[in-house]
C-alpha cells in the first residue's frame, strides 16, 4: 500500500512498500519475516504521516522599523499554510507573501512579535 501525493498531501512511498502476501500461510520463518517486514513498513509510514501532520510552531519578531517584516526560510519544498498568533496568542491577519517554495515573508502595519503555525 502506497499513499500517493495529492495537492498538499504527503507521499509515504519512501517509507517502503508492503510486500505481497505469501502464496501459502504457514508458521515457517519465511512467513514470520513477511510479518516483520509488514509491521516495519507500517511503522515507518505511521511515523512519516505523524511528522507531516503536526504543524511547526516558530516564534518570530518583525523588524522594529518600517517595513515591518519577518522572512522565514523552511525546507518543506511547498507553499505551506501559515497562521499567525500575536504575543497574546490571538489569531491575526498579517500579509503572508510566499517568495518561493522555500521561504515566505510576514508583513504587518506595525512591529509584531508572536508565533507562526506552519502546516
- 69 & 113 share domain: yes
Q: Look at residue 41 in the predicted model and tell me its pLDDT.
A: 82
Asked whether the beta carbons of 61 and 89 are under 8 A apart, the reply is: no
Domain that holds residue 64: 56-118
Within a domain: 105: yes
Q: Is the peptide bond before 67 cis (omega within 30 degrees of 0)?
A: yes
Could you give the number of structural domains in the chain? 2
Which pTM was predicted? 0.56
Give the H/E segment covering residue 109.
none
Model confidence pLDDT, tens digit, residues 68-103: 999 999 888 889 999 999 999 999 999 999 999 999
Domain end among 38, 53, 68: 53
> Hey, what's the cell of 40?
516495519
- 101 & 74 share domain: yes
d(CA 13, CA 41): 10
Within a domain: 37: yes
Other CB atoms within a 10 A radius of the CB of residue 58 amount to 14
Would the pLDDT of 107 be above 60? yes
Within a domain: 31: yes
Model confidence pLDDT, tens digit, residues 48-72: 766 666 678 999 999 999 999 999 9
- 49 & 62 share domain: no
Amino acid at each position: 500500500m502506497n499513499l500517493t501525493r495529492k495537492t498538499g498531501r504527503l507521499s509515504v512511498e519512501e517509507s517502503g512498500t508492503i510486500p505481497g502476501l505469501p502464496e501459502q500461510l504457514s508458521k515457517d520463518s519465511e512467513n514470520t519475516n513477511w510479518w516483520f517486514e509488514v509491521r516495519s513498513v507500517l511503522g515507518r509510514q505511521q511515523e512519516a504521516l505523524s511528522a507531516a501532520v503536526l504543524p511547526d510552531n516558530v516564534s518570530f519578531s518583525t523588524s522594529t522599523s518600517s517595513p515591518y517584516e519577518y522572512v522565514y526560510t523552511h525546507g518543506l519544498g511547498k507553499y505551506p499554510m501559515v497562521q499567525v498568533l500575536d504575543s497574546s496568542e490571538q489569531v491575526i491577519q498579517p500579509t503572508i507573501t510566499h517568495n518561493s517554495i522555500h521561504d515566505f515573508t510576514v508583513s504587518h502595519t506595525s512591529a509584531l512579535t508572536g508565533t507562526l503555525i506552519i502546516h
